[in-house]
Structure 1
Amino acid sequence: MQTRRLGASGLRVSSVALGTMTWGRDTDEHEAAEQLKVFLDAGGTLLDTAATYSGGMAEEVIGGLLGTVAERDELLLCSKAGVRDGRVDASRGALLDGLDATLKRLGTDHLDVWLVQAPDPGTPLEETVSALRHAVDSGRTRYVGLANHPAWQTARAATLLECGPGLSPGLSPGLAAVQMEFSLLQRGIERELLPGARALGAGVLAWSPLGRGVLSGKYRRSVPADSRAASPHLRGFVEPYLTDGSRSVVEAVVTAADGLGRAPVEVALAWVRDTPGVSSAVVGARTPAQLRGSLAAVDLELPEQIRDALDEITAPVLGYPERR
């Protein structure tokens, strides 16, 4: 698997990351262990998790696999904080307490990448950024970033990190990463966030590159009983993309896949992975078999004509002020 720099930082990450949202709930410890083996065998290095995933159980599962299935130095660990008890709290105390709890569950003394999971309108961005800076200064994480924040907050946070009180740009930790949803069904980041991140030197970690599983084509005829859309706690996550508009995109992906002799998930993943500015595409799977299906895209480079066709079919609407 190809490795890439995370934005302008010196950290190199695998072009596909393994997401763990279902670990500890829909994916048990044995299946998680098998997934991690499959991922490592494919050359993957970046493991993505969050304190909220399965109420912290995902991090506990990962902690149990470190030293058994994988050594700590074989993996790059990315986790997120800022949401607890179902509400957003990106205050300095909440973030740092959350980071300490994450490290305890993972059984490690540091993360490689630590992200604020969501914007907090109740906390000044300056306070949130101060927690990111302190986390780097204290050695609890190597790199920091934001997840699911709009472009203006991303730019403001990058500025604060670069030129905070008592800092010069050469001494700042910098904004290394932004994690955003990005797929052929969700291209909103192309309006401002993606070009902004590239200008700021932040690498994009694209979550749900398979359109929350819809681009696999599994929902073309019905909702499979063992799918996320049939799960009580994940149904609401998938349903926004089970629309007539989404179906036309899915059919285009299926047609492209048929023409290439590949699976739809491979086409959808390759399209996201190779978009300029994307450092890694984060794929999650409930089972090892599903993960193997996604990782089959490692050697797929989409022909220019197919990429152009998918671009045209799914292009986001741009207007003022992004385009005049």
Structure 2
Amino acid sequence: MEQRHLGHTGLRVSRIGLGTLTWGRDTDEHDAAELLKAFWEAGGTLVDTADVYGDGAAEYLLGRLTEGLVPRADLVIATKAGSVPDPDRRFNGSRGHLLAALDASLQRLGTDHVDLWQVHAYDGNTPLEETLHALDLAVSSGRARYAGVSNFCGWQLAKAATWQLAAHGPRARLASTQMEYSLLQRGVEREVLPAALDLGVGLLPSSPLGRGVLTGKYRSGTPSDSRGASDHLGPFVAPYLDDAAGRIVEAVTTAADGLAATPLQVALAWVRDRPGVVAPVVGARNAGQLAAALSVETLSLPDEICQALDDVSAPVHRYPDQDWSTL
């Protein structure tokens, strides 16, 4: 699998990442082992997890599997900290919480460092400098090799990345930002992606298949074994089952038919090759789904197909994005 640099850093990662959101909850150890082994054998390196996935079970599973199944040195392990199961405070970006969470993640993962440590979300109740100082300490102590953020809007990402580049002393520049990005969700193109491109921050798209909708599996209803039919993930999929999404899915299906490909391959290839994108993170539930995603390695979309998909899925951006000097 092709490797790409993560932002303006020396870290190289596979251009498809493996997500572990369902590990320890919907994906048991046997299935997780099959996924990780298949991903590794295909040349995949980037494995993305978080301390809250499965209440820590995803990290624990990944740690067990790197003990004997897949060499730890062959993987780029990325995890996150900052989300908390507290209805009164969903995110905690304080230095104390983040560093304690990192230590707990390392213990579950069974390793002395993670390759990429990400702040899971912006915490408006903690000074940003304090949150970023936790990243600096993690990198300077060797517990994390690189640092990034997740779910930061445009101004938050720009402020954080600029601070890390401009402040005095040893600072950990932001290598990445992880955001939802697909043909069904192009909101990052408004401010996040331009900021990332300008500041040398690599984009790791989550839900690159539109929460599974872009595979076409929901065209005739909701399959009983799909995420959309589950009690805890149904609400996650539901926003992408409207008429507007349906028109985009039909366009993807038409393109796939013309290319003798699948809708999954077309949708994933589109986001993988967008400017600024380093590696879409795919959350496959089983080896079959992962194999389908990995098969996109040999597919490059023709320019006219990309343009047609761009047109049918284009978000409406007007002021202040529109160039008013031409009006």
Q: TM-score per shorter chain, which class?
A: over 0.9
1:10 aligned residue: 10
Q: Structure 2: which amino acid aligns with 1:294?
A: A
Moved over 2 A (4+): none
| Per-residue deviation, residues 94-132 of structure 1 (Å, max 9, x unmatched) | 111111111110000101111111111111111111111
1:54 aligned residue: 54
- TM (norm. structure 1) is 0.97
Equivalences for 1:213-292 in 2 at 5 Å?
213-292=212-291
Check if 1:89 corresponds to 2:95.
no
CA shift for structure 1 position 311: 0.5
SS in 1 for 2:279: strand
Check if 1:130 corresponds to 2:133.
yes
Work out which of the residue numbers 107, 115, 126 in structure 1 matches 2:118: 115
CA shift for structure 1 position 65: 0.1
2:20 aligned residue: 20
| Per-residue deviation, residues 212-232 of structure 1 (Å, max 9, x unmatched) | 000000000111111001111
CA shift for structure 1 position 67: 2.2
Identity of aligned residues (%): 56
- TM (norm. structure 2) is 0.96
Q: Structure 2: which amino acid aligns with 1:60?
A: Y
CA distance in 2, matches of 1:263, 1:151: 33
SS in 2 for 1:152: helix
Equivalences for 1:73-222 in 2 at 5 Å?
73-86=73-86, 87-164=90-167, 166-167=168-169, 171-222=170-221
SS in 2 for 1:77: strand
CA shift for structure 1 position 145: 1.0
Structure 2 gaps, min length 5: none
CA distance in 2, matches of 1:55, 1:249: 35
CA contact (8 A) 1:192 1:322 kept: no
CA distance in 1, matches of 2:321, 2:50: 32
| Per-residue deviation, residues 282-315 of structure 1 (Å, max 9, x unmatched) | 0011111111111111110001110110001111
1:42 aligned residue: 42
CA distance in 2, matches of 1:259, 1:200: 38
CA contact (8 A) 2:162 2:199 kept: no
CA distance in 2, matches of 1:121, 1:21: 25
SS in 2 for 1:66: helix
Aligned residues between the structures: 320
CA distance in 2, matches of 1:237, 1:203: 25
CA shift for structure 1 position 248: 0.4
SS in 2 for 1:146: strand
Q: Structure 2: which amino acid aligns with 1:42?
A: A
CA shift for structure 1 position 236: 1.2
CA distance in 2, matches of 1:209, 1:41: 22
Q: Structure 2: which amino acid aligns with 1:16?
A: I
SS in 1 for 2:67: coil
CA distance in 2, matches of 1:151, 1:99: 25
